[in-house]
Amino acid sequence: MRFQTLYEARWIFAALAALAIASAFVFPWLLLLVLLLTVYVFWFFRDPARVSPADPNAVVAAADGTVADIVEIEEVEVMHALQKRVGIFLSVFDVHTNRAPVEGKIVYRKAHAGLCLDARHADCTTKNRAMTWAFQNQRGTFVVRQLTGMIARRIVGWSKVGDELKKGEHFGMIRFGSRTEVYLPLEAEVLVKVGDRVTGGTTVIARLR
């Protein structure tokens, strides 16, 4: 468990502690529910250790979750070109830290205001609050987009432009259910399919040619 991940829950833990104290004096029966919520929040902000594959041609999942879609689409913010996009849906039961899909230098980071539609909604990729990242290495530039969901309202960026990240290294997180997208060059061979479960930092979602 990384302290940085738990630190993002500090206000939630403070609110639960205050609620637990109030419940003990006013509604003792509510104390059990508060304790259960506290256990869930602690579990939600878990951050298991991961080992990423060393293969420089392997692109790993940027998040834990389920592959929601795989499409060819114009990436209009950084690459301005047709790309393959692998969208990963994160439920409230998934680990929510985000990891670099490739080794490289962060050359772009930008937050976008927006709505908080359900992360499974078709319009969420263009209308929801988001943060876009670009990782650059000798193989090219790889875009990752973090998107909020109906419950997830906060995107956290731990890295900044200029940072050099190893494959699988943390760059941020999204609090509660959300979506993470990885954009790949058209010639990349996608190795997952819609409905597959992936693990951030370890599951190889594509191989570069």
Q: Which residues are catalytic?
A: 178
User: In 3-state terms, what secondary structure has residue 127?
Assistant: helix
Residue 71, H or E segment: strand 65-75
Residue bearing tokens 């209308």: 127
Q: Please report, in angstroms and rounded to a whole number, the separation of the first and last CA atoms in the chain.
A: 35
Interatomic CA distance for residues 16 and 159, integer angstroms: 29
Between strands 178-184 and 81-90, the pairing is antiparallel
Q: Yes or no: say if 152 and 130 are a contact pair by the CB < 8 Å rule.
A: no
Q: Yes or no: say if 75 and 133 are a contact pair by the CB < 8 Å rule.
A: no
Q: Phi and psi for 185 in degrees, rounded to 5?
A: -65, 155
Interatomic CA distance for residues 56 and 51, integer angstroms: 14
